[in-house]
Amino acid sequence: MAARPQNFVCQSCGAASARWAGRCEACGAWNTITEEGAASTARPSRKGRQFAIESLKGETHEAPRAPSGIAEFDRVTGGGLVRGSVLLLGGDPGIGKSTLLIEVAAAFARNRHRAVYISGEEAVAQVRLRAERLGLAEATVEVAAETSVEDIVATLSHGSIPRLLVIDSIQTMWTQTVEAAPGTVTQVRGSAGELIRFAKRTGAAVILVGHVTKDGQIAGPRVVEHMVDAVLSFEGEGSHQFRILRAIKNRFGPTDEIGVFEMTGTGLREVANPSELFLSERELGSPGTAVFAGIEGTRPLLVEMQALVAPTTLGTPRRAVVGWDQSRLSMVLAVLEAHCGVRLSGHDVYLNVAGGLRIQEPAADVAAAAALVSSLARAPLPADAVYFGEVSLSGAVRPVAQTAARLKEAQKLGFVRAILPEGARGETPEAGLALLPVGMLVNLVSEIAARGDTSRRGARDRDVAAE
């Protein structure tokens, strides 16, 4: 008996099965399996064709990379778009993906490259309206509203090949090569495959927009992420103006660089000095905030960490974190309990990285611990100090990379002291910046707690005097 065709495909992970089920066995997601047209399993009728194999040493005639001129975008892509490469840009609805890409397309057009913007979601008039608002009405970007991949490829294979092709979005595209409804995993994968082949064949750089699901993954199959050369994510908090472009995967560049933009009525503005922006809304003198001297890629970045430690009314106290790693927070809390005598089991703990930034560095441990203890002891930290250092499970403060860059940035922004790991003691100090090394976290904790005691005693004395 012939094997039954695997027509049921999980819309989350792309696993195929012969039967419908409520839960995908591969990824565990519920209610994600739908029936799709069978992929053709017929034996190919033609024999394999022979092709030429080239030497790696061969010459490339044109510069393989084209920078857009938008510095923050070029930084994240690793210096510009590589010929024949395909990028996937993901991001929440309304975050500004179309805005970013029309600006990138316009920048390419300004550099006298042919740039084509295909929208599957908006009519040409809408795209034009946006361009007008962004002051790009005069840009020589070519625009079309189209969803058929075959038509797009056929149209663009004639005449000069575009240097940049933007597809907004891959979820709206459909190809005749697979029999499935637009938006399904099979269609998204099929369409992406066709467009990738187009890019490789012609040397055009293609940027695909991908929608993001509620839990932050690029909707449709993860397999598209494997098919493309780079995956970028455009992030930001709805209430903030900052937008961060981050590389999640990049075959031609670094993945730890971020690009920072500010969304304005007239488009995205590049932020050349993000520290200034992230520290601009600082509330000075309130307990529970510490400035972390971080590094994103090659660039130092100062950002405020805010903590709130409050008595809990729940059996199991809450531990919530925004912008940092949950397990890192748990570890810092455990070290504070075990080695520093800080009792937190009766307290809810909230930690937030200001400005909607997401940091991944363990170097933020010391800043997080300082903010937490400051909140618990109601002792404001000095407003002119920066904190960094990794905390080990034994409670020691361990050195971190790129100390000099962190100190330089702190000095540039007017900070006068840096609380840093003992191991960085030998670091040449920046003028006007005092280095205060910490060996064990407990020393920092008792210093902050002592400050809390004195400030409370001072307040009590004032109250008594006033009576």
Ligand X SMILES: Nc1ncnc2c1ncn2[C@@H]1O[C@H](COP(=O)(O)OP(=O)(O)OP(=O)(O)O)[C@@H](O)[C@H]1O
CA–CA distance, 330 with 337 (Å, rounded to integer): 11
The least CB distance from residue 94 to ligand X, in Å, is 4
Least CB distance to ligand X at residue 268 (A) = 9
Beta-strand pair 289-296/115-119: unpaired
User: Which residues would be at the binding site for ligand X (CB under 6 A)?
Assistant: 91, 93-99, 121, 133, 263, 265
Given the complex with Mg ion, which of 209 and 332 has the nearer CB atom? 209
Q: List strands edge to edge, sheet with 417-421.
A: 319-322, 347-353, 299-311, 289-296, 385-387, 417-421, 434-438
**85/98 with CB nearer Mg ion:** 98
Q: For Mg ion, which stretch binds (CB under 5 A), given 98-106, 246-254, 334-342, 344-352?
A: 98-106
4 binding partner (options Mg ion, ligand X, none; Cβ < 5 to 8 Å by kind) = none
Is the Cβ–Cβ distance between 268 and 243 less than 8 Å?
yes
Q: Which stretch binds Mg ion (CB under 5 A): 95-103, 176-184, 237-245, 344-352?
A: 95-103
When CB distances are held under 5 to 8 angstroms depending on the partner's kind, the choice from ligand X, Mg ion, none that residue 289 binds is: none
Q: Report the alpha-carbon distance of residue 125 to residue 450 in Å, rounded.
A: 64
What single DSSP character describes residue 37?
P
Quote the Cα angle for 208-209-214, to 5°.
Answer: 140
Shortest reach from residue 78's CB to ligand X, in Å = 23
| Contact criterion met (CB below 8 Å) for 368 and 391 | no
Residue nearest to Mg ion (CB): 98
Which residues in 148-167 contact Mg ion (CB under 5 A)? none
Distance of closest approach, residue 170 Cβ to ligand X, in angstroms: 12
Closest approach of Cβ 97 to ligand X, in Å? Answer: 4
Beta-strand relationship, 33-35 and 8-10: antiparallel
Distance (Å, whole) CA 413 – CA 407 = 10
Find how far residue 36's CA is from the centre of its chain: 32
Binding span for Mg ion by CB under 5 A among 49-57, 90-98, 286-294, 455-463:
90-98
**Looking at the DSSP assignment, which residues form a beta bridge with residue 289?**
306
Q: CB-wise, 12 or 98, nearer to Mg ion?
A: 98
Alpha carbons within 13 angstroms on the beta-carbon side of residue 271 total: 22
Nearer to ligand X, 12 or 99 (CB): 99
Closest to ligand X by CB, 127 vs 340, is: 127
Q: Which does 426 bind (CB under 5 to 8 A by kind): Mg ion, ligand X, none?
A: none
Exactly one of 85, 98, 184, 186 binds Mg ion (CB under 5 A); which one?
A: 98
Q: Which is nearer to ligand X, 94 or 315 (CB)?
A: 94
Report the C-alpha gap between 349 and 284 in whole angstroms.
Answer: 21
96 binds, among Mg ion, ligand X, none (CB under 5 to 8 A by kind): ligand X
DSSP 60: -
- Residue with token string 């790693």: 325
Residue 210: contacted member of ligand X, Mg ion, none (CB under 5 to 8 Å, by partner type) = none
Count of residues that bind Mg ion according to CB under 5 A? 1
| Cβ-based neighbours of 407, under 8 Å, separated by 6 or more | 293, 418, 420, 427, 429, 430, 433, 435
58 binds, among Mg ion, ligand X, none (CB under 5 to 8 A by kind): none
Those residues with Cβ within 8 angstroms of residue 243's Cβ, 6 or more apart along the chain or in another chain: 95, 96, 100, 234, 235, 236, 260, 261, 262, 263, 268
Q: How far is the CB of 180 from ligand X (least distance, A)?
A: 23
Beta carbon nearer to ligand X, 191 or 306: 191
Comparing CB distances to ligand X, the nearer of 121 and 142 is 121
User: Between 91 and 389, whose beta carbon lies closer to ligand X?
Assistant: 91
Span of 96-104, 217-225, 371-379, 436-444 interacting with Mg ion by CB under 5 A: 96-104
Least spacing, CB of residue 118 vs Mg ion, in Å: 12
Binding site for Mg ion (CB under 5 A): 98
